[in-house]
Amino acid sequence: MTEQPAGTARVTIDPDFTLGTVDPRVYGTFVEHMGRCVYTGIYEPDHDTADEHGFRGDVAELVRELGTPLVRYPGGNFVSGYRWEDGIGPAAERPRRLDLAWRSIESNQVGTDEFLGWTRRQGLEPMMAVNLGTRGIDAARALVEYCNIPGGTAWSDLRVKHGVRDPHGVKLWCLGNEMDGPWQTGHKTATEYGRLAATAGKAMRQVDPTIELVACGSSNARMPTFGEWERQVLHETYDEVDYLSLHAYYEETEGDRASFLASGAQMDAYISDIVATADHVRAVRRSSKRMMLSFDEWNVWYQSRFPGERALPLEEQPRLIEDTYSVTDAAVVGSLLMTLLRHADRVPVACLAQLVNVIGPIRSEPGGSSWRQTTFHPFALTARHARGSVLRTEVSGPVVETPRYGPVQALDTAATLDEETGELTVLAVNRDQEQHLGLRAALRGLAAPYRVVEHLLIADDDPDAVNTQAEPERVTPRPVPQTAVSAEGELEAVLPPVSWSLIRLTPQR
């Protein structure tokens, strides 16, 4: 018997009030040469499931199930010291390099051609980053030439010589990574970076005019230069770039799970602040161009547990930030995805960082199995079903007091409508840690009565429950059969404490 809720949150869902259209690239992910994301993550030639190219078949299958259409590569902090030429040509002749970003030994056995071949076989769009830390214009435009020109030039002919006849056709490019961060190799001021990004971007477009470019925004909203960095960078790059990046990671601090569950409130404010800054620059420049945003690093990351790269021993394939995620973490990841969807008008691109092992939704063991973390499920189900138009949802009901963000709605929600199929998807998180929450959603303006197809729930009596190699199915989505549309045309559901839900509805035929 379903427990009766202590309170009810009311929502109105109306197809006449939309926030934007879902760009599938908002469900992007990230592969960096860091820890075990590449080696023994996506790539392990000696694994029982490895394909002829050395990539793990079991991980590839989970990547397909995750539903991501886009993968950013090769960094992250790693890219700011990376020589992409080290990762091309005969693998046996490639140099072993010291990676300063994560104090690791990089074998370069996976490089540009291997990674882009993997994305092609997986049906993924690559998002490539160029090194604007230790390198600059010439290396960036040469990499575009190597990847995108069919042949007849020095760099494109070298690609053909390496056995890749057809161009990779990479369309989305990041102009460096987190260049505002003092930890970044080649850290620059906003003006220094902005001028370099503008000139590098212009040269890259001279090679391939069809590419799209992403300029670096702040590493996070706590940076002392936040806001002013964006203003100065956009002043230099506005005419040359298509997107400005945002990065944010969230973790639970001791004794404050309430604020952690409300992390979406900070992400929402962060996006709104960057939109305001970008629109200010547009007004000052009297430009008709609307700057879009690329939230190309986001996730739950327990940074307080990370000793810092300088404290790391020099290793190859070290186990770095392999956080094991709980039900609570899954609810937060689901909530952050909802926040991104509610900003669909300005955030068409986003990347969950990272894909495997390194704070990833997928975990794997060398020579062993791979499995889904708890966070895998809200991401995969949202990517699969939240398509079409994002509908505006106004919530009224119980609130939760948080030390960091003040009062927030106990219900966090988003809704999408697929105009082609008529399917309505409602996403919901109950942020309350103690009480069940009733959900009543008025379905106004829909052409036909709707029925519930399924309600899938991530919840557990223990909000700290996790999936492990020994118990990989401890936390999985489970159906909730009681959820239905009432005779009055309202969706009615009960949401357990600290839970994430996906409810799918279709028109009755």
- Residue 500 and residue 439 in contact, taking contact as beta carbons nearer than 8 Å: no
207 within 8 A of 137, measured Cβ to Cβ: no
Q: Which residues, in sequence order, are CB contacts of 472 under 8 Å at separation 6+? A: 369, 371, 372
3-state SS class at 29? strand
Backbone angles phi and psi of 487, in degrees to 5: -65, -25
297 is annotated as an active-site residue: yes
Q: Which one from 32, 178, 236, 240 is the annotated catalytic residue?
A: 178
C-alpha to C-alpha distance for 235 and 192, rounded to whole angstroms:
12
> What does the alpha-carbon distance between residue 129 and residue 75 come to, in Å, rounded to a whole number?
7
CB contact at 8 A, 59 and 357: no
Strands (E) across 100-229 are located at: 104-106, 125-130, 172-175, 212-215
423 catalytic? Reply is: no
Q: Which residues contact 52 (CB under 8 A, 6 or more apart)?
A: none
Query: Strand 97-99 and strand 104-106: pairing?
Result: antiparallel
Using CA atoms, how far apart are residues 173 and 409, in angstroms rounded to an integer? 37
3-state secondary structure of 401: strand
SS3 342: helix
For residue 407, how many other CB atoms are within 10 A of its CB? 10
3-state secondary structure of 229: helix
Half-sphere exposure of 242 (CA within 13 A, CB side): 13
Residue type, 210: T
Angle, helices 327-342/263-285, rounded to nearest 10 degrees: 30
Q: What are 437's two structure tokens?
A: 């929450």
Q: Which of 44, 85, 297, 423 is catalytic?
A: 297
Report d(CA 397, CA 394) in Å as an integer: 10
Token digits of residue 100: 């300063």
Q: What are phi and psi of 19, to 5 degrees?
A: -105, -20
DSSP for residue 109: S
Query: Which residues are tagged catalytic?
Result: 178, 297
